Amino acid sequence: MTRHGAEVRLEGLGKSYGPVRAVKPLDLVIEGGTLVTLLGPSGCGKTTLLRMIAGLEQASEGRILIGGRDVTLLSAGERNVSMVFQSYALFPHMSVLENVAYGLVSSGIARRAAERTAEGALETVGLAGFGARLPSELSGGQQQRVAVARALVLEPDVLLFDEPLSNLDARLRRAMREEIRALQQRLGLTVIYVTHDQAEAMAVSDKVVVMLNAGIAQIGTPHALYTQPDNVFVATFMGEANHVRAEIEALEGDAARVRLGETVLHLPHRGLTPGPVDLMIRPEAIRIAAEGALPATVARATYMGAHTEYVFTTPVGELFATDRPGGSPGEAVRLALDPVGTVLVRP
Amino acid sequence: MSLARAPGLPAWLLAALAATLLPWHMQQDGVAGLFALRAEEADAASALGQAWFHGRFWFWPVLAALALALPGALARRSVFLLAGGGLGLLAIVAQGFAIGIQGWSWPFLEAWFGPLEERQFGMGLGGALCFLGCLLLVTDGLALRGFFKGDRFVAGAVGVLAASILIFTAWPVGTMLLQMFTPREELSGLTALGVRLFDGKIWGLGCVTGRVHCGVFWNTLVLAVSTASAATLLGLCFALLVTRSGFPAKRALRLLTVLPIITPPFVIGLGLILIFGRSGVVNQFVQSAFGLELGRWIYGFNGVWLAQVFSFTPTAFLVLIGVVEGISPAMEEASQTLRASRMRTFRAVSLPLMRPGLANAWLVVFVESLADFGNPIVLGGSFGVLSTEIFFAVVGAQQDFGRAAALAAIMLLVALAAFLIQRAVVGGRSYVAMTGKGDAGLPTPLPAPVRRLAYAVALPWALLTILVYGMALAGGFVRVWGRDWTPTLSHFTRAFALEWSASGQIIFVGGAWNSLFTTVTLAAIAAPITAGLGLLAAWLLTRQRFAGRTALEFALMLTFAVPGTVIGVAYILTYNLPPLEITGTAMILVACFVFRNLPVGVRSGVAAMSQLDKSLDEAAITLRASTFRTLRTVVLPLLKPAIVTALVYAFVRAMTTVSAVIFLVSAEYEMATVFIINRVINGDYGLAIAYCAVLILLMLAAIGLINLLVGRRQLGRREGART
């Protein structure tokens, strides 16, 4: 069953409802066999984009190519894509096996053969022997797996997930996302995955497309997005970050000399020019250290077990940090900033 | 696969076969002689046969249009489909209107083409199917052009729905409105219209100053306003009792809501006559006890008003239960934690929240009273309202269709106004059921004064309702009410007697059998059509986005607002002439049932559809199912409860309706309700009551049976699985 999923190519794809732009025209290439996440706050257009790829919404402009074939004008059933819905959308009046075989029967395969194939798909997701049950007789996680099996059994070029884990509890969510990732890698599927949960996106994706205001904010691997965000939104959306104003005084080779209050830092300049700049500091990049450059006072310290969460008052504003237990409220300390978690961002 | 390459072929074959093989015109002897290419008589031949063998040249354009569509049907060529189908529709309609039972319909045609010896009757099977085929050619063409997302099924469904609204509502109502302009005696069109519209019998205000009757418009308005106010107040009392108090017999009260559905519209009137009429129980008692003559006070405004309040309080109750239950208990609990007393909570929170609902209930009853025909005809006496005046204008000695049309136009205007206000009050889509979110909290009990008031108003009224119904039923078992109290079953035997012939066959000798069989058969034919069309419309409106969706929705809603009497008059005016000559047939009755009751199908469909997760349809679509397969395997099975409801309501309402069908019945096709009304008008109450009782029992049985057959098994399985 191992094969490589098709490449998905969006060319100037956009959607508007009258004067309202749901998705601004955008270009995007999703390589075959990879898992790409569309991540963003609600209303950013990520679900509309997914539904356009699925064929459930008609694009207002642009083209969609799947495996090199132009599918822009094809209906959902003709595109060879499958979708796993947020609510799973399992047909409540059909048994699990009938649900999984539904797409095969729709495609014109004889019922007997379709059900045999469907049993195989149920086995793939670890639900062998559950075929005779009704969806309502399964747990949430099992229903999720049926939905995946129902989509998989059609061997689609592209598999789409619309916030598939949002109806599960936290523990199950973690297990299911690992299962989905393992399945995708084992079968070499092309998967497009919509979520608003940043941790989920980081855990499953080859690449993440961060969306904001109906457009793409940044595309990259989870690592690249976390360590090299292009703007303040991406930095704060991909995990916690302190946002402070700084100024680039001069460029020195690959590095920039940055003035942060009274302190001077040397950081990769990332193509920025001298002048005001935004500085993003990850909480784990702030350490209490005697040789630290930044004077600070501990405002609050919250003991969390493995680490302690601090809020420091500094000349450049309040900073949120996670560090080993140590400082106590009111204490004057000095802070060192780890260059890996301290990034310059275009203002 | 050949169908995918030639998507228009089935529609084209339908149109072509209908035009070549089936008799174009309506045949007297039913479906005999279906193969009609070459027939002895021109009127029995198909379009091709009439054009070829009988020289009826006006069929050539139809055939030419079909030939034009053929390239489109064989290859995916939308231009040919659109042109051929569109011209075909045009040609069919044009020839139908241009040539009637007296040759050319308009003088200028005779001037152009010369005199015509021939004539033609109403369209039949061939014409109808050819029309349908051409319509589908057009929708297929539109779908190929990318309209309706390229979905031929959706395109066809929209086309059929729009065409049927046009043919069975817009056209008749338009024809009727035009009828107002027909010249009368020496008056020209516009003057005649003026005389009819501003008649003193309609607008007169003589009753304010003197002892003359007021115009029927004012009668109708005053009656509708007072009925609506009283019924809303009573309905609110009942609704509050059922939802907000410890009233022990809540379930029994809820049964009240079923009553208006299964009650033929004049049972209440009969019951009132038996109690308060000249030989009624009360009058007899008062006379024997005090020697007083109470007289005929029940005939006229008082009686009609009383009967309408009895009839429509359950309707208001039904609407208001939803309203009262829809108020989130959390609001009232919040008010109480803010130190408001129960009375203040009720006055300042609950009542204002109910205001739109109260307005809605008031308007619903207002329209029902406006359109009511059964009660005024039974109890009105010389007190005329619009619906009865229309009836007498049509069936009375003067046979003045122009006057009927003018009255109907006024009625239509008032109904539309009420309907538009209602839409504004309820907001947007008035027929969408509110999906109640499960709010935590308990409904606050009523404040004591309000509770006492509700009890004081509602309980006596409930008792009175039971009394009226009881009397109405008891009337069937005595010889002559008020004069001869001997118990008897003679009314039943007169209506429903059976005899066995010598050969052992059953002979239905009772006078009511004929109308009963007709009613049941026609209602059974109409019910599935109503439910099917209604659910299809609901599905299109809630699930599909296409150009013209809002227009279709608005047109559908407008048809809901047309009162039955208006439809009745419009139908006889429109369908007693070619091209669609179906007056006096069963078809006109079925069409009337279907389009009168379509709202019920649409409402229950929309309500059910909004409970159904939209991603279920989408899942089926992404799983390669066609639109039709999605509808058949996913949507319909999940809509079983809505289908049952729509079927039951459509069936039962078809059996109890009177306002429209009273114009449409014929000797051959007599309806039960019309039969009963004629008995009532003749003073034969016993038989009428016996028949009513049988009808009510029959409808209860039908509701039970349909529930058993279609619903329970499936429902049970789903509910069982839900746990």
Same domain, A17 and A153: yes
Same domain, A263 and A317: yes
Q: Which residues in chain B show pLDDT less than 50?
A: 1-2, 32, 428-439, 712-723
Q: Which residues of B touch A56 (CB under 8 A)?
A: 618, 621-622
**CB contact residues (below 8 A), chain A span 265-324, against chain B:** none
- Cα–Cα distance list, A85 to A37, A82, A171, A339 (Å): 15, 10, 20, 41
The residue count of chain B comes to 723
pLDDT tens digits for A64-77?
Answer: 999 999 998 888 88
In whole angstroms, what is the distance from residue A5 CA to residue A80 CA?
A: 11
DSSP letter, residue A208? E
Q: What are phi and psi of A84, to 5 degrees?
A: -105, 120
Same domain, A50 and A109: yes
Residue A302 lies in a domain: yes
As given in the structure block, the two tokens for residue B387 are 């619906």
In chain A, what are the helix, strand and coil shares in percent, each to the nearest 5?
30, 35, 35
Residue A309 lies in a domain: yes
Same domain, A223 and A269: no
- B344 CA to centre of own chain: 43
Instruction: Kindly compute the dihedral angle of the four CA atoms of residues B312, B317, B320, B321, in this order, to the nearest 10 degrees.
Output: -150
Reported as a pLDDT band with limits 50, 70 and 90, residue A113 is: very high
Does A173 have pLDDT greater than 70? yes
Establish if B612 touches chain A: CB-CB under 8 angstroms.
Answer: no
DSSP string, B222-249: HHHHHHHHHHHHHHHHHHHHHHHS--TT
Contact A56 B620 (CB under 8 A): no
Last residue of a domain, one of A232, A254, A277: A232
Sequence-distant (≥ 6) Cβ neighbours of residue A41 within 8 angstroms = A196, A212, A237
Establish if B626 touches chain A: CB-CB under 8 angstroms.
Answer: yes
Residue A1 lies in a domain: no
Same domain, A275 and A301: yes
HEC readout, B451-495: HHHHHHHHHHHHHHHHHHHHHHHHHHHEEECCCEEEECCHHHHHH
Contact B618 A107 (CB under 8 A): no
Q: What are phi and psi of B118, to 5 degrees?
A: -90, 175
Predicted interface score ipTM higher than 0.90: no
pLDDT tens digits for B339-391?
Answer: 878 888 888 888 888 888 888 889 889 988 998 888 898 888 888 889 888 88
Per-residue pLDDT, B716: 34
Same domain, A127 and A274: no
SS3 B621: helix
Nearest to A82 among B622, B714, B722 (CB): B622
Residue A3 lies in a domain: no
Contact A102 B623 (CB under 8 A): yes
Same domain, A194 and A260: no
Alpha helices, DSSP H, located in chain A? 46-54, 96-106, 111-124, 140-152, 170-187, 198-204, 222-227, 232-237
Residue A29 lies in a domain: yes
As given in the structure block, the two tokens for residue B195 are 């005389």
A-B CB pairs within 8 A amount to: 79
CB neighbourhood size of B478 (10 A):
20
Same domain, A106 and A58: yes
Per-residue pLDDT, B721: 34
Which residue does chain B place closest to A135, by CA atoms? Answer: B721
Reported as a pLDDT band with limits 50, 70 and 90, residue A1 is: very low
Cis peptide before B445 (omega within 30 of 0): no
Establish if B634 touches chain A: CB-CB under 8 angstroms.
Answer: yes
Contact A93 B718 (CB under 8 A): yes
Last residue of a domain, one of A177, A208, A232: A232
Beta-strand (E) ranges in B481-545?
484-487, 498-500, 506-508
Nearest to B616 among A82, A91, A137 (CB): A91
Higher pLDDT, A333 or B381: A333
- Cα–Cα distance list, B532 to B312, B564, B592, B622, B696 (Å): 28, 21, 15, 25, 25
Distance from the first to the final alpha carbon of chain B: 44
Q: Which residues of A touch B722 (CB under 8 A)?
A: 136
> What's the total number of domains in chain A?
2
Contact A92 B623 (CB under 8 A): no
- Sheet with A8-17, side-by-side order of all strands: A20-30, A8-17, A61-66, A69-70
CB neighbourhood size of B433 (10 A):
13
Per-residue pLDDT, B710: 63
Contact B136, B34 (CB under 8 A): no
Residue A27 lies in a domain: yes
Q: Which residues of B touch A54 (CB under 8 A)?
A: 618, 622
Same domain, A227 and A248: no
As given in the structure block, the two tokens for residue B118 are 């021939």
CATH of the domain at A169: 3.40.50.300
Residue carrying the six token digits 């606050």: B444
Higher pLDDT, A294 or B505: A294
Q: Which residues of A touch B623 (CB under 8 A)?
A: 77, 82, 102-103, 106, 150, 154
Contact B646, B602 (CB under 8 A): no
Contact A58 B721 (CB under 8 A): no
Burial of B683-710, coded b for 16+ CB within 10 Å and e otherwise, reads eebbbbbbbbbbbbebbeebbeebbeeb
As given in the structure block, the two tokens for residue A182 are 């393992």
Query: Of B267, B259, B280, which Cα lies nearest the Cα of B693?
Result: B267
Establish if A56 touches chain B: CB-CB under 8 angstroms.
Answer: yes
**CB contact residues (below 8 A), chain B span 638-697, against chain A:** 638
Same domain, A55 and A176: yes
Which residue does chain B place closest to A95, by CA atoms? Answer: B721
Q: What are phi and psi of B513, to 5 degrees?
A: -55, -45
How far does the CA of residue B629 sit from the closest CA of chain A (Å)?
A: 8
Give kind and range of the element (H or E) at residue A210: strand A207-212
Residue A144 lies in a domain: yes
CB neighbourhood size of B474 (10 A):
16
Query: Of B272, B292, B291, which Cα lies nearest the Cα of B281?
Result: B272
Burial of A123-135, coded b for 16+ CB within 10 Å and e otherwise, reads ebbebeebbebbb
Nearest to B619 among A81, A89, A137 (CB): A89
Residue carrying the six token digits 């659109």: B82
Same domain, A272 and A191: no
How far does the CA of residue A56 sit from the closest CA of chain B (Å)?
A: 7
Last residue of a domain, one of A184, A214, A232: A232
Per-residue pLDDT, A211: 94
Residue A97 lies in a domain: yes
Mutate to test the interface with A, among B623, B627, B631, B632 (most CBs of A within 10 A): B623
Contact A158, A109 (CB under 8 A): no
Per-residue pLDDT, B257: 67
- Gyration radius (Cα) of chain B, Å: 28
Establish if A54 touches chain B: CB-CB under 8 angstroms.
Answer: yes
Same domain, A223 and A257: no
How far does the CA of residue B450 sit from the closest CA of chain A (Å)?
A: 45
Host domain of residue A292 = 240-345
- Cα–Cα distance list, B398 to B217, B389, B551 (Å): 20, 12, 40
